[in-house]
Structure 1
Amino acid sequence: MKKTIAVCGSSGVGKTTVAKILTERTRGALRSCGEEVKQRAMQLGIEPSTLPSNEHAVIDSLTRELAQGTLEMLIVEGRFLDKVLQDVSNTFLVRLVCDDVIRNNRLFERQATSNLASVPNPPYAAEMITVSSDGIMQIDNSHLSAEETADRILRAWANLPKIPG
């Protein structure tokens, strides 16, 4: 069983909310790369958007080390984990995508409420779960709640082939 579930995607797709639900359900540890960036920027007295690339590289390196060395369940969320963790064998990568209008509404609502889970989704359309050409499970959660998205991730994760050793 892969011990790390990595959730990546653009801002506003629900990475943090879904990762928190996954952490609770798996009783794992959570690493939020975005929070790591914010904390490091605060230590340096700069805005997160101006954090130098060498600082991002340190955060990425530590994230890789954690994912490679974990014996316990680890949930990691971040925008670029599909690049950072793409070749870490015990990692199940999930990319969340969302309709731009819904994503922008979520971002706007987040500023107002700081709680993505409270944002209502439009009426159900078509569920989109695919595997991209790079082998990453991709979920369009435009019409799924965070709980429904986490359910689909955990079902797919539970059905992965067992890794020997």
Structure 2
Amino acid sequence: MLLGMLAFQRDTLRWKCSGLAAEQLAVEHAPSALSLGGLLKHLAVVEFSWVSVTFAGGDDSPLWGGQRQEGQEGWSLRTTAGETPQELLGWLEESQRATERIVGEAPSLDVLSREMPYGEPCSLRWVLLHLVQEYGRHLGHADLIREAIDGTVGI
């Protein structure tokens, strides 16, 4: 059920970004620097980081790994017109595949993380719930940004 809800939210984000050129995905919505491309990148980074790194303890280098900017707060929320829609969506797909593989291999959702993000390990169930919340929070931003770009509204 958690993976289903997460998939629904990813699909909603993809829909909000569908049909837009790289330049449109990079449009920032004032007064913040949020863009749809930045949200795609950020959610790919957040999902991969929580599931593959924090929970599973992996150190695989994701496709976006070369862009990581340690100490630069908010780097994953920024995108440029040079990042293609295919590239940004590919990063999201990569994170999704890693999540589904790791969840599929876990003996239960009660397994604890290898890293301790808040001073103690968290369960895989908590990580998935956290991701559902993270996507949900940013989908509201995506609604507003898409409407500002071309007037498209809806779920």
Give the TM-score band, short-chain normalised.
Answer: under 0.3
Question: What's the TM-score once normalised by structure 1's chain length?
Answer: 0.26
Question: What's the TM-score once normalised by structure 2's chain length?
Answer: 0.28
